[in-house]
Amino acid sequence: MEPSVVIRPETIGSTPAPDGAVDGPHALADRLRAIRTRMDQAATQASRNPADVTLVAVSKFHPQASVRAAMAAGQLVFGENRVQEAAAKFPPLRAESPALRLHLIGGLQTNKTRDAVRLADMIESLDRPALADALDRAAQTEGRLPDLLVEVNTGDEPQKFGVPREQADALIRACRQRFGEKLRGLMCIPPAHEDPRPHFRLLRAMAHTHGLSVLSMGMSADFEQAIAEGATLVRVGSAIFGPRPATPESTVAP
Ligand SMILES: *Cc1c(COP(=O)(O)O)cnc(C)c1O
């Protein structure tokens, strides 16, 4: 059980699925292609190189079969919210395709850090000193350290993960000192019913101040605006995989 004050992952993002009725691998490949096209257009419009923006396909709550269908359509980078779900779904897929990359994007409990460090290529949700401590210890035990992003709660929303704005600079500096180049950049999830662009701009300004190059921002509803504001990673779930099932229990294929 998660504490009730924590925002539930399925409530994040507001775009309804583009189609729900027929959802085979072809529909998924079509949606994936459409998203990539829109990403490229958004980058070009912003006078950016489309190759500088990476799509993280957020497969949380969706079965392994959907991840496989996306892989068959050329997608290699995936995002998951929960360590346990990622641990059940991804190791077999990685064995099939060593180029697969897994980003953990959900709030991370300190008691899950060893599994997270073992599984992930990037952890996008480093948001407090205690988690930095736990990740450091886990990295020493496991002998590996994923790339890291500090998640900033740009809207200072009490129910959200992410370091509050006024504590962000200190956490970023501390993580830079501790993790060096492994601290790659910043991530944010703007408030659901606000114009996201000021939040994207704030994140970009913070990254610039600290000399960090990776900006993870933008989801199904706003990835084009995020690209216009400098996103290098966009995390798109429902616009690729369709609506999320109500519970994560059914996500591991038989
Ligand atoms: C679920 C989730 C997404 C994807 O949201 P969509 O609106 O489905 O694209 C992106 N980022 C985080 C942190 C998420 O939890």
Q: pTM higher than 0.75 for the full model?
A: yes
Atom of ligand 1 nearest to the CA of 81: 15
pLDDT at 24 exceeding the cut of 90: no
Atom of ligand 1 nearest to the CA of 105: 13
Residues 6+ apart with CB under 8 A from 206: 152, 168, 169, 172, 186
Say yes or no: CB of residue 220 within 6 Å of ligand 1. Answer: yes
- What average pLDDT does range 149-175 have in this prediction? 98
Query: Which has more pLDDT, 248 or 200?
Result: 200
Say yes or no: CB of residue 77 within 6 Å of ligand 1. Answer: no
Please tell me the residue having the least CA distance from ligand 1 atom 7. 13
Determine the distance separating the centroid of ligand 1 and the alpha carbon of 253, expressed in angstroms: 21
Contact 234, 218 (CB under 8 A): yes
Helix H segments across 122-185?
129-142, 165-179
- What average pLDDT does range 44-67 have in this prediction? 97
Question: What pLDDT, on a 0 to 100 scale, did the predictor assign at position 110?
Answer: 97
Atom of ligand 1 nearest to the CA of 58: 4
- What average pLDDT does range 30-47 have in this prediction? 98
Per-chain mean pLDDT for the chain? 90
Please tell me the residue having the least CA distance from ligand 1 atom 6. 237
Going by pLDDT thresholds of 50, 70 and 90, the confidence category of residue 247 is low
Residue of 6, 8, 12 to test ligand 1 pocket, by largest number of atoms within 8 Å of CB: 12
Determine the distance separating the centroid of ligand 1 and the alpha carbon of 43, expressed in angstroms: 20
DSSP state of 187: E
Q: What does the H/E/C string look like for the chain?
A: CCCCCCCCHHHCCCCCCCCCCCCCHHHHHHHHHHHHHHHHHHHHHCCCCHHHCEEEEECCCCCHHHHHHHHHCCCCEEEECCHHHHHHHHHHHHHHCCCCEEEECCCCCHHHHHHHHHHCCEEEEECCHHHHHHHHHHHHHHCCCCEEEEEEECCCCCCCCCEEHHHHHHHHHHHHHHHHHHEEEEEECCCCCCCCHHHHHHHHHHHHHCCCCEEECCCCCCHHHHHHCCCCEEEECHHHHCCCCCCHHHHCCC
pLDDT in tens, 73-114: 999 999 999 999 999 999 999 999 999 999 999 999 999 999
Determine the distance separating the centroid of ligand 1 and the alpha carbon of 109, expressed in angstroms: 18
Determine the distance separating the centroid of ligand 1 and the alpha carbon of 92, expressed in angstroms: 23
Determine the distance separating the centroid of ligand 1 and the alpha carbon of 13, expressed in angstroms: 6
pLDDT at 60 exceeding the cut of 70: yes
The domains found in the chain, sorted by start residue, are 9-241 (3.20.20.10)
- What average pLDDT does range 214-232 have in this prediction? 98
Say yes or no: CB of residue 216 within 6 Å of ligand 1. Answer: no
Say yes or no: CB of residue 238 within 6 Å of ligand 1. Answer: yes
Distance CA 122, CA 166 (A): 25
Please tell me the residue having the least CA distance from ligand 1 atom 10. 235
Contact 152, 133 (CB under 8 A): no
pLDDT at 22 exceeding the cut of 60: no
- The Cα-based distances of 6 to 9, 59, 158, 165, 253 in angstroms read 9, 20, 9, 18, 27
Say yes or no: CB of residue 81 within 6 Å of ligand 1. Answer: yes
Contact 242, 16 (CB under 8 A): no
pLDDT at 115 exceeding the cut of 50: yes
pLDDT at 249 exceeding the cut of 60: no
Question: What pLDDT, on a 0 to 100 scale, did the predictor assign at position 244?
Answer: 81
Question: What pLDDT, on a 0 to 100 scale, did the predictor assign at position 3?
Answer: 41
pLDDT at 4 exceeding the cut of 60: no
